[in-house]
Amino acid sequence: MKFTLILLLCLITVTGCKTKTADAVPETFSTTSEKGLAIGTITFEGEKPVNDIYRFFYEPTSGDKKFMRQNDGKIEIKARVNNEPAYNGDFDNKKTYLFVIECEPGNYAFTQYNYLDHIGYTGTVSNSKKFAIPFDIKKGEITYIGELTYIENAQPGSPRIVIWDKFDRDKKEFKKKYPAINWDAAHNNTVKKGDTGEGIIDFMEQ
């Protein structure tokens, strides 16, 4: 689905929902924390960004309406540097982004992504089909859910997002960027199955 946004609506779309990114990492986290963390990476497979903004939406898959409303969110990536298309991630030639989701304990899933082709009043947002990349958040625990590789130029009928197990590699990067948290306590629960959204998601191991 595609629809053209006027500038005001575009701004509401960008800021209207709470955003959870790596910048939201808590200063401290331990086994006594009331909430839990789900961590991973998003890697872009492409020479340069095709779009200006990418959003990856997640939500609880169980609980009452209040719980679901309070704990849904998105990871938003703006792929522009100095007003030019460019990746600005944490490592791997700036193509890989660390993310941290801090939420109440429960069952969750990434369920959709969308992208804005360019910032401005003529920008067009495209939404994916619904899918499910399920993960759990447990009280006082850090759960690694995998690398989400986003294939910029995926062909029709082929996966757009592939889930990989890059636990050892990614844990080293979390340690470098956020040394105050004990990332050695993280559990590797790389997602191995879910709803592929008619083939736009693939689950792999490496």
Taking only the tens place, the pLDDT of each residue in 149-180 is 999 999 988 999 999 999 999 999 999 999 99
The CA dihedral of 147, 152, 158, 159, to the nearest 10 degrees, is 20
What confidence score (pLDDT) does residue 19 get? 41
What confidence score (pLDDT) does residue 205 get? 61
What percentage of residues in the chain have a pLDDT greater than 90? Answer: 80
- Residue 60's contacts (CB-CB under 8 Å, 6 or more residues apart) are 67, 68, 71, 72, 103, 106, 107, 108
The neighbouring-strand residues paired with 57 are: 74, 112
| The two three-digit tokens of residue 83, written as one number | 């007003």
pLDDT band at 97 (very low <50, low <70, confident <90, very high): very high
Phi, psi of 75, rounded to the nearest 5 degrees: -105, 125
Lowest mean pLDDT among 10-19, 59-68, 134-143: 10-19
**Total of domains in the chain:** 1
Using an 8 Å Cβ cutoff, are 177 and 90 in contact? yes
User: Which of 117, 53, 119 minimizes the C-alpha distance to 87?
Assistant: 53
Q: What is the pTM of this model?
A: 0.87
Domain that holds residue 62: 2-203
- Residue 9's contacts (CB-CB under 8 Å, 6 or more residues apart) are none
pLDDT digits (tens, 9 = 90+) for 44-59: 999 999 999 999 999 9
Using an 8 Å Cβ cutoff, are 126 and 114 in contact? yes
pLDDT digits (tens, 9 = 90+) for 100-120: 999 999 999 999 999 999 888
Q: What is the rounded distance in angstroms from the CA atom of residue 124 to the CA atom of residue 16? A: 17
Using an 8 Å Cβ cutoff, are 124 and 116 in contact? yes
Arithmetic mean of pLDDT over the chain: 89
Bigger pLDDT: 62 vs 15: 62
* Amino acid letter, residue 196: T
Q: What is the rounded distance in angstroms from the CA atom of residue 130 to the CA atom of residue 27? A: 33
pLDDT band at 24 (very low <50, low <70, confident <90, very high): low
- Residue 29's contacts (CB-CB under 8 Å, 6 or more residues apart) are 37, 142, 181, 182
What confidence score (pLDDT) does residue 150 get? 98
